[in-house]
Amino acid sequence: MMEKDRFSLLLLEPGEIYFEDFSAFLFPINATEDDFEKKKELGRLKMCSKSIVFDPKDILKPIIKIPLKDCSKIFEWTGELLSKVSPQSNAIAVDCNQYVEMLEGNVLAPYIFKSEKCRFLFLLNYAKAGDCLPQFCQLHRASTLPAAEQSSMIATIVYSRQSRVGFDTLWLGDLYEKVILETQGSKITPLVVNPGRILLTSSRLYFQPYNNVEPYPVLKIRLQDIKRVIRRRFLLSQVGLEVYCDNSSHVTHLFLSLKSPADRDTLYHSLLSQSALRLENTEQEMMTLQWQNGVISNYDYLLYLNSLADRTFNDLTQYPVFPWVISDYHSPKLNLEDPKSYRDLSKPVGALNEIRLQRLKERYDEMSEPKFLYGSHYSAPGFVLFYLVRKFPHYMLCLQNGRFDHPDRMFNSVPDIWKNVLTNMSDFKEMIPAFFDTQQGGDFLVNNFGINFGYRHDGTKVGDVLLPRWAEGPEDFVKQMRSALESEYVSKNLHHWIDLIFGYKQTGPEAEKADNVFYYLCYEGAVDLESIKDINQRHALEVQIMEFGQIPKQVFTLPHPQRLSGLPPMLVLESDLSPTTESSSIFRERVHSISGLPVWKNMEHLAITSSFQSHKEAVSAVVISQSGQFVVSVGQDSLLKMYTLPEKRQVRSVTLSSMALSSCIILPDDKTLLVGSWDNSIILYNLEFGRVIDSVRAHEDAVSCLVWGHKTQVLVSGSWDCSVRIWEGVSDGRKIKPATALIAQLDHDAHITSLALNGDNKKLISGTQDGDLFLWSMESHSLIQQLPGHTGAVYSTSFSPDDSKLVSCGEDCSFKVLDLTSGMQVYTKTLDEELRCLAWDGLTLLLGGSLGTLYIWDLVKVELLKQIQAHAGPVVSIAVSLDGSVVVTGGEDRRIVVWEPAAS
């Protein structure tokens, strides 16, 4: 059964405009004065751009739609009966050759098309026939014109009517709110475009439709309830804007389409500039890193990527797309531990069956340009409604002109559909979120409305969807599908499917290599709709685009990083973007077990235990001994300082050079110190005996940074002479002989400002004054790749313990997290000051800023835990003991500060 208010824009043709309606009686032409009262039907007569619709008050009577193109005459009726039943003589007659009856008995069913001549008589209750008739006749005249002229005339009528309507400021929620912007646009819902006025004020966003079809005269959204504002495509044009609201708001979201990209962007920027707006943080890289770490589920991440790629539940042409993940729909029990139960996510649906793929390739080779492998898409309005027809039958009736699909072509069986997408030469559809949405419980699989969809060829009545044998029912089916989506197998392979749908294998040569080529109209930019002036030609292309389906907007141009393996199972299956409270601690234990390295705890509770101010100029570097018993610092005053942590006092002060010291390393024996100096030298200092062992001219300019490879026993030095040098034979504490100790030189185009080695010492990262980041092989001494860098000097870098990621920070006030497998930047954040130094255990990141701030970030949940005013000037060096129990910072304020994580 339908709801009481049955009329909706879904009953009209796609793109048809509903103008206004009038209270009226419908009465038969053969009524007499005596039975007029019995035969008349009270209802609303609706004036639309391509039809006249009568919606009777009695919900059991059918809604009547009279297409204007099927009307032969519309005129004011003055029959004898009229003068007797209505003193005003206020009736309109409509003669037609065909009409449509819809929703008779208030039941959703295929529309009934009556191909017969008929006259309808409408007695207007309040409006005057003389006022309404010219408008009906004008629209009727438009329907008789050729398509191009008809569209042009209707557009003129629409413009004339809508230009006379402004936003009614009586609807403002507050007398004191300031009007920022008023413009024209349309509210978009599936298959429906409803035009109106958009008003932005200092406290609310309003939408006032031109007609009365919406359940409200004006839609009001408080700016403080808005959580996300996203610019979207609509029909492949950049004119859409989607607004998501807090769940407590009476409006959860609003999708608007504006007249042009410029109008859309003006509204977007005006909205973002309002101080009342409080948007949540959904940065792309943050979500990617959270997904990698297992903080958010595969389901939530796919929903997020769909949103980034302009996929929305409000637009069936760009509906969210999800992958087929299961390949076993016949076993009595689904084994999620068996890789054979899963689909190959590295291939598009069309390439899963090798025999079919070869036939498609043969056809492809014989084609003229533009070539395509797949003539149908993996996501189109028809496919979406194919899955959802039981839940949203009125959408299907709208899309298919009042008819359901043939019973044998409907979504009748999950195993049959899987078989079809594997073998059919024109079926390559993927899935939709409903297959994995445990909150909806698989309601789309059940014919809850009891609709008569007809009978299949074998006499079977179309009812609920037939499920695999391993599913106990719709709810269990969706639950198991969701478990499969969150499984270890899918988690390890989902990035391949992301590459195909949202990433670098979506278009171009990589798409061809991956057998991922669709019909050209599916791709953004294939047709410039704005440049097509012919309304008919443009409309025809828009219809084609809608029917074929659209490739999502490309989100990634590099291979998508893989999810980390061995993640703890998600604590909940329900969609929830907020991280669980336990996930960070579980993740930390997992990283500890994989790397064998300790992970830091309670860093958000750092407290000062001691402080030293003994350098005469800025501190350059600090380092903690392997034993954790003492700290060494070097400074621009050429001094080396040594402090004992148990006694909290300075025990040594030595002048090592005539120039500033830039860096220092304590070797694993806790006896040998390596120091870099601005006088181009590397100094070996024996901490046990307190003397210089050697000083060697290592570079042609100042030595700026040093790093030690504890596994390979090599020293790497960087210099302002734009080179990195690799040395061996330094660990025995004897003098360095450059002729034999120098084993490689890596040349750069700018000063070297940062160096880091990975855990097994096989990879080196170098950062430069120009902001470049280079990844080198320590085995071949060759460049592996250049990574996304900074717009100013790179000040510090660090590998994660498992070598999967790199963190860098720099002069541009940002820090970046890079995935080393794909080379993709998975997170970047810009703070309020230059970031001069960092320390990282792969999970918790400590950053020192140029304004003296110490930042503590959780890079599992990707959130700032704490920021502390640590120094009176820039923090230039951070060192953490091996067990994470001591943190030492050095600053340009000449201070050394010792911190310990206090108990929480």
Question: Is the domain covering 9-162 a CATH 3.60.10.10 domain?
Answer: no
In the chain, count of helices (H) and strands (E)?
A: 17, 44
Q: Which residues contact 840 (CB under 8 A, 6 or more apart)?
A: 798, 800, 807, 846, 859
The pLDDT score that the predictor gives to residue 740 is 83
Q: Which residues contact 406 (CB under 8 A, 6 or more apart)?
A: 454
C-alpha 240/C-alpha 263 separation (Å) is 10
Nearest CA to 436 out of 294, 324, 296 is that of 324
Q: Which residues contact 574 (CB under 8 A, 6 or more apart)?
A: 438, 439
Bridge partners of residue 25, in order along the sequence: 42, 123
Question: Alpha helices of 609-670 — where are they, by DSSP H?
Answer: none
Cis peptide preceding 370, ω within 30 of 0: yes
418's tokens: 């899987």
In this structure, are residues 303 and 433 in contact, taking their beta carbons and an 8 Å threshold?
A: yes
26's tokens: 């419908």
C-alpha 904/C-alpha 899 separation (Å) is 15
C-alpha 742/C-alpha 427 separation (Å) is 63
In this structure, are residues 343 and 352 in contact, taking their beta carbons and an 8 Å threshold?
A: yes
The pLDDT score that the predictor gives to residue 544 is 73
CA 251 to the chain's CA centroid? 21
**β-strand pairing of 703-709 with 691-697:** unpaired
Ranges of residues in the chain with a pLDDT under 70 are: 1-4, 83, 85, 87, 281-284, 528-530, 535-536, 539, 546, 566-597, 732-734, 903-904
Q: What is the four-CA torsion angle of 496, 500, 506, 511, rounded to 10 degrees?
A: 80
In this structure, are residues 795 and 754 in contact, taking their beta carbons and an 8 Å threshold?
A: yes
Q: Is 650 helix (H, G, I), strand (E, B) or coil?
A: strand
Q: Is 686 helix (H, G, I), strand (E, B) or coil?
A: strand
Q: N- to C-terminal Cα distance for the chain?
A: 59
Taking only the tens place, the pLDDT of each residue in 651-693 is 999 999 999 999 999 999 899 999 999 999 999 999 988 999 9
C-alpha 819/C-alpha 824 separation (Å) is 5
The pLDDT score that the predictor gives to residue 151 is 84
For 308-548, CATH number out of 3.40.50.920, 3.40.50.2300, 1.10.1540.10, 3.60.20.10 equals 1.10.1540.10
Considering the domain delimited by 167-280, tell me its CATH architecture. Answer: Roll (2.30)
C-alpha 552/C-alpha 320 separation (Å) is 9
708's tokens: 């030690």
The pLDDT score that the predictor gives to residue 569 is 44
What are phi and psi for residue 175, nearest 5 degrees?
-65, -25
Q: Is 264 helix (H, G, I), strand (E, B) or coil?
A: helix
3-state helix, strand, coil in the chain (%, to 5): 25, 30, 45
**β-strand pairing of 63-67 with 51-56:** antiparallel
Q: Identical fold at 167-280 and 308-548?
A: no
The pLDDT score that the predictor gives to residue 571 is 35
> If you search the block for the tokens 């407290």, which residue do you land on?
607
Nearest CA to 552 out of 500, 629, 511, 601 is that of 500
In this structure, are residues 722 and 742 in contact, taking their beta carbons and an 8 Å threshold?
A: no
250's tokens: 């009476």
Strand 895-901's sheet: what is its strand order? 606-613, 895-901, 887-891, 875-880
Domain ranges of the chain: 9-162, 167-280, 308-548
